[in-house]
Chains A and B, each alone.
Chain A
Amino acid sequence: MALNSATFSAATINIGNKISLPDFCAKLRELGLPSSNSWAKTIGQLQDIIDSPKANPTDLANLEILVAWTCEYLASFSKAICIYELGVHAHPYIPSLGQAILAGLIKAGVRQNYPAGEFPALAGKIECGTIIEQFFIRSVTHTKDIFSVVITTVAEYYVREKISVTAADSQAVAKLSDYSEIIGVRKVAYEHVDVIRFSHGVTGSGIVSAEIMLDISRPGATALNQDEISKRFKKYDSLVNTALTTAIPGVKLPAPMNFFPAMDRIYNSKDGNVCELGFATTLGGSVKKEKMKRNTADLRVETWHAGGRNAIASAAIPDTIDIYRLSVSWKITMSDDQPILSVPGSFKALSTGDVRHALILGCTEKASFDFAFSRLLAFAK
């Protein structure tokens, strides 16, 4: 369907909630479209193009590319990944499974009538407040091997903010007089863009897998922490299970793939740049967390780390390290992104040997996300 003024307006009006203006403007420059220093002005200039009766066809085509890129960006940026293997199934299985899952999701309460428009449209502040904790199917795409559903949902977060206390405030409210600033806690409704995918042959020959990819952004000064990510996964796990059971009675999601062993494999390979490492020395009994300032540098060859590694290996009683957290990044040819794959274990993971989700960060397009995802699978299996 050709892009029209209303669709474009809906797709871009609240996009500043999820994309940074510098990232958006970089894409506009790449497409030769006008950019500006404020969201209002930037979107206004783009809207003028589509509203103009004499619009240049190249500009209109580039606006379509921009909207398609926005969809990719939202589906790729800052995601936590869980992968579930559902066993070997004959090919072609995905198209029929996908349709059944879609019906299952709808039966499980996921809605289709998103109030703010077609994906990538996002809800405004007021609309967000009216759809809290509701799940909406926003986009469905499929090939013969992959069935993908983009779902958005609004969650509420508490954001801590400092509030300066002025002389006038102190006069108005006497009990503030001893304070120069106070900490306020504000409730903010925030929209997440998540992806559920069913694939054939992605994790292994003939294997059907379910992949849940959750948005880990949130309002405030930090991204979602591990606890918040786990809570989000639990909600989706339950939703997908309900849909799956509806689609194929008796079938449930198994335990998600364990990424703990992947960390040793990545560390012992020469793949990418290991830019973060959390580990304990087995005999020495120390716990260390090392991080490269730049993702483009490799911790494995950093002098202090490599020296330490050699020293413990060649000590009178050789020692080893046990890794509980690792991040690796790549410079890739197919994108300007430098994707980061992170297995975000905590020290506790050394007791359980379990890290059931991974993070893929720094991807503004599908090509870089797919690359990092393929590396995750290569090391997880």
Chain B
Amino acid sequence: MAITVGSPEADELISDAKSLLQGYVGATVPFVRLCKIFKLEQNELRMAEIIELACNKKIRLMKHVYFYLDDEFGPILLKDGLIKHYLKFDELYHPVSNAIIENMDVEERVLIEFEVIG
């Protein structure tokens, strides 16, 4: 369940998160590493809730970062414009070729990490 922004629980979580992520400002961190940082390896659902809170526009402790996994080039950062377009219209452009990638492939090809803004 989403944690309400501005609630005492949220404030406490954000304060803890800021302290835990202090050394990671500027880094782009995968979900698994965040679980380790927050010692939530056994509670991924809670980690997801904290991430959702930390990425909230009012909080901006973290930001989603998207990568495209290409066979030839490995992970390629996806520009915000491409992601916004995909989220709205379900159309993802390949970052090197500009070809529209069939939707069914997207879940295998795109991964999300989190940039720590601090």
Residues of A at the B interface (CB closer than 8 Å) are 18-23, 25-26, 37-38, 77-78, 161-162, 164, 216-226, 276, 289, 291, 293-295, 361
Q: Is B99 an interface residue (CB 8 A)?
A: yes
Q: Are A293 and B85 in contact, with the CB atoms below 8 A?
A: no
- Given A37-B88, A37-B89, A293-B67, A222–B94 Cβ distance below 8 Å? yes
Which residue of chain A has its CB nearest to the CB of B97?
A217
Q: Are A23 and B81 in contact, with the CB atoms below 8 A?
A: yes
Q: Is B2 an interface residue (CB 8 A)?
A: no
Which residue of chain B has its CB nearest to the CB of A77?
B98
Nearest CB of chain A from residue B75's CB, rounded to whole Å: 7
Among B7-15, B54-62, B100-108, the stretch that binds chain A is: B100-108
Which residue of chain B has its CB nearest to the CB of A16?
B100
Q: Are B74 and A291 in contact, with the CB atoms below 8 A?
A: yes
Which residue of chain A has its CB nearest to the CB of B29?
A293
- Tell me the bound Cα distance from A23 to B96 in angstroms: 12
- Tell me the bound Cα distance from A21 to B92 in angstroms: 10
Which residue of chain A has its CB nearest to the CB of B93?
A20
Main secondary structure on B side of the interface with A? mixed
- Tell me the bound Cα distance from A88 to B82 in angstroms: 46
Q: Are A293 and B71 in contact, with the CB atoms below 8 A?
A: no
Can you list 21 pairs linking A and B with CB atoms under 8 Å apart? A20-B82, A20-B85, A22-B81, A22-B82, A22-B93, A23-B81, A26-B81, A77-B98, A161-B105, A162-B102, A216-B96, A217-B97, A218-B97, A220-B99, A220-B101, A221-B94, A223-B70, A224-B72, A291-B75, A294-B28, A361-B96
Nearest CB of chain B from residue A350's CB, rounded to whole Å: 19
- Tell me the bound Cα distance from A25 to B82 in angstroms: 11
Q: Chain A contacts of B75 at CB under 8 A? A: 291, 293
Q: Among the interface residues A22, A38, A216, A220, which one has the most CB atoms of the partner chain B within 10 A?
A: A22
- Given A225-B72, A226-B72, A293-B77, A161–B99 Cβ distance below 8 Å? no
- Tell me the bound Cα distance from A69 to B113 in angstroms: 33
Q: Chain A contacts of B85 at CB under 8 A? A: 20-22, 37
Q: Is B33 an interface residue (CB 8 A)?
A: no
Extra 4 A-B pairs, beta carbons < 8 Å, given A161-B105, A217-B96, A217-B98: A164-B104, A222-B71, A289-B74, A293-B28
Q: Chain B contacts of A25 at CB under 8 A? A: 81
Question: Which 7 A-B pairs rank lowest in CB-CB distance, beginning with the nearest?
Answer: A217-B97, A22-B81, A20-B93, A223-B96, A222-B71, A162-B104, A223-B97
- Tell me the bound Cα distance from A204 to B99 in angstroms: 37
Which residue of chain B has its CB nearest to the CB of A222?
B71
- Tell me the bound Cα distance from A20 to B85 in angstroms: 10
Nearest CB of chain B from residue A245's CB, rounded to whole Å: 33
Q: Is B64 an interface residue (CB 8 A)?
A: no
Q: Are A19 and B28 in contact, with the CB atoms below 8 A?
A: no
Which residue of chain A has its CB nearest to the CB of B101?
A221
Q: Are B70 and A222 in contact, with the CB atoms below 8 A?
A: yes
Which residue of chain A has its CB nearest to the CB of B72?
A225
Q: Are B105 and A221 in contact, with the CB atoms below 8 A?
A: yes
Q: Is B84 an interface residue (CB 8 A)?
A: yes
- Given A22-B93, A293-B28, A161–B74 Cβ distance below 8 Å? no
Q: Chain B contacts of A276 at CB under 8 A? A: 74
Q: Are B89 and A221 in contact, with the CB atoms below 8 A?
A: no
